[in-house]
């Protein structure tokens, strides 16, 4: 064993050493349909105006620790209920980590729960914080298994349950009665985070139910709306809860360039909403074309991506790679996802290129 191997063995947690890094494929020169990004850029005039604002940002100073003006703009523009505020984060990933860190009690078993398959960072963030993760399998049709969730809540007493709405990677919206039952079962012993990363496309939300449920947290991100590059997430909850989470949040977690770009984008929100509408218009067209593939099954989609199953996902994604197109083969993620591929809904041109590559004969 080398000196470095010994040093790592002596200092790094065994469970961390056993992990593989979160993998993001090299995408230079590829059509990127694997990360649920908005393919549209801002118009030329808006880019020029944004460049001017960024050029005047005070990069020599620390950002405002808790940017009141930007938070107020998020509340006003994005449907936060009256009397509620938001916490901003470096993407929703940081907010997930903040919530889990705040509820994890040293020396005691803390349970984080979510249906599976779902967003992998719920489990990873729980592990990093030293909490136990309990995954409750979805039904075969990817709907929430209400009875199994309620039984698991009663047995494990989770501190927090994460529900992606719509779910990633399956793309479907859980039944509201099932979601309500989970929130109500937690009562005053656990929190429920409804993660609405794809709300601009789903056009349905739990944000308005915050006053009804004191244990509810609604989390979103600007990434899927068209601002993935600035990494800004936000969440809302009862003021008393946000005050506790704010004690865990790093003081300068949202940099000045992100604050400036986000404020600018919210001033021009209609352009981003128009892009979301264009993507939504393409979604049923792409789903219908995928359903025509031999042996394909297409699942209901409420986000800016579609999950579908083919006879051989490995072969299908290999064909896509040969044409420099990236989509996500999910076969190894969970048994329910065997031979499933997740594809971002993109521009008509990129969607057509994707379908053409899938339909092309195999190269011998």
Average pLDDT, integer, range 34-58: 94
347: pLDDT strictly greater than 70: yes
With cut-offs at 50, 70 and 90, classify the pLDDT of residue 15.
confident
Token pair for residue 333? 């993620």
With cut-offs at 50, 70 and 90, classify the pLDDT of residue 24.
low
Identify how many contiguous H helices and E strands the chain contains and give both numbers. Answer: 14, 13
SS3 69: helix
pLDDT score of 64: 83
Nearest-angstrom CA–CA distance, 182 and 48: 47
Compute the 3-state secondary structure of the chain and give helix, strand, coil in percent, each to the nearest 5: 45, 15, 40
**CATH classification for the domain delimited by 59-267, as one of 3.40.50.10420, 3.30.420.40, 3.90.76.10, 3.40.640.10:** 3.40.640.10
22: pLDDT strictly greater than 80: no
Beta-carbon neighbour count of residue 65 at 10 Å?
Answer: 11
Average pLDDT, integer, range 320-346: 97
Token pair for residue 360? 């092309």
pLDDT score of 350: 98
With cut-offs at 50, 70 and 90, classify the pLDDT of residue 23.
low
**Nearest-CA neighbor of 134 among 104, 108, 155?**
155
100: pLDDT strictly greater than 80: yes
Instruction: Locate CATH 3.40.640.10 in the chain.
Output: 59-267
Q: What is the pLDDT of residues 162-205, one digit of tens each?
A: 999 999 999 999 999 999 999 999 999 999 999 999 999 999 99
Q: In this predicted model, which residue has the larger pLDDT, 138 or 20?
A: 138
Q: Helices (DSSP H) in 60-174: which residue ranges?
A: 68-77, 91-103, 120-129, 146-156
21: pLDDT strictly greater than 90: no
Q: What is the pLDDT of residues 196-234, one digit of tens each?
A: 999 999 999 999 999 999 999 999 999 998 999 999 999
pLDDT score of 237: 98
With cut-offs at 50, 70 and 90, classify the pLDDT of residue 292.
very high
Average pLDDT, integer, range 39-53: 93
pLDDT score of 29: 82
pLDDT score of 102: 98
Least confident segment among 16-25, 97-106, 275-284: 16-25
Average pLDDT, integer, range 77-83: 97
**Nearest-CA neighbor of 264 among 63, 48, 32, 6?**
48
25: pLDDT strictly greater than 70: no
> In this structure, which topology does domain 3-43+270-359 adopt according to CATH?
3.90.1150
pLDDT score of 31: 97
Cα separation values, 64 from 7, 18, 55, 71, 252, Å: 39, 38, 17, 11, 7
Whether the CB-CB separation of 264 and 258 falls below 8 Å is answered with no
Instruction: Locate CATH 3.90.1150.10 in the chain.
Output: 3-43+270-359
364: pLDDT strictly greater than 60: no
Average pLDDT, integer, range 137-165: 98
With cut-offs at 50, 70 and 90, classify the pLDDT of residue 278.
very high
């Amino acid at each position: 064993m080398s000196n470095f191997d010994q040093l790592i063995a002596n200092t790094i947690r065994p469970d961390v050493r056993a992990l593989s890094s979160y993998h993001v494929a090299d995408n230079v020169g590829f059509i990127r349909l694997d990360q649920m990004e908005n393919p549209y850029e801002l118009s030329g005039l808006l880019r020029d105006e944004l460049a001017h604002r960024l050029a005047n940002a005070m990069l020599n100073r620390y950002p405002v620790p808790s940017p009141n003006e930007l938070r107020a703009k998020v509340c006003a523009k994005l449907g936060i209920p009256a009397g509620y505020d938001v916490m901003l984060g470096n993407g929703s990933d940081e907010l997930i980590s903040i919530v889990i860190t705040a509820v994890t009690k040293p020396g005691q078993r803390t349970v984080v729960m979510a249906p599976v398959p779902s967003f992998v960072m719920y489990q990873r963030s729980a592990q990093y914080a030293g909490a136990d993760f309990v995954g409750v399998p979805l039904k075969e049709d990817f709907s929430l298994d209400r009875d199994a969730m309620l039984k698991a809540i009663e047995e494990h007493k989770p501190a927090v349950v994460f529900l992606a709405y719509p779910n990633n990677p399956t793309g479907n919206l859980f039944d509201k009665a099932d979601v309500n039952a989970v929130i109500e079962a937690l009562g005053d012993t656990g929190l429920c985070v409804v993660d609405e990363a794809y709300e601009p496309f789903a056009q349905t939300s739990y944000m308005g139910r915050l006053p009804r449920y004191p244990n509810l947290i609604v989390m979103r991100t600007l990434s899927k709306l068209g601002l993935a590059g600035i990494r800004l997430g936000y969440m809302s909850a009862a003021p008393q809860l946000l005050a506790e989470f704010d004690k865990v949040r790093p003081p300068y977690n949202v940099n000045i360039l992100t604050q400036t770009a986000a404020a600018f984008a919210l001033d021009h929100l209609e352009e981003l909403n128009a892009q979301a509408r264009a993507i939504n218009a393409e979604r049923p067209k792409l789903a219908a074309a995928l359903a025509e593939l031999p042996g394909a099954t297409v699942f209901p989609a409420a986000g800016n991506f579609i999950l579908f199953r083919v006879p051989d996902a490995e072969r299908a994604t290999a064909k896509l790679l040969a044409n420099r197109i990236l989509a996500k083969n999910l076969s190894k993620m969970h048994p329910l996802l065997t031979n499933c591929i997740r594809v971002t809904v993109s521009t008509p041109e990129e969607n057509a290129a994707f379908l053409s590559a899938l339909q092309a004969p195999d190269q011998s």
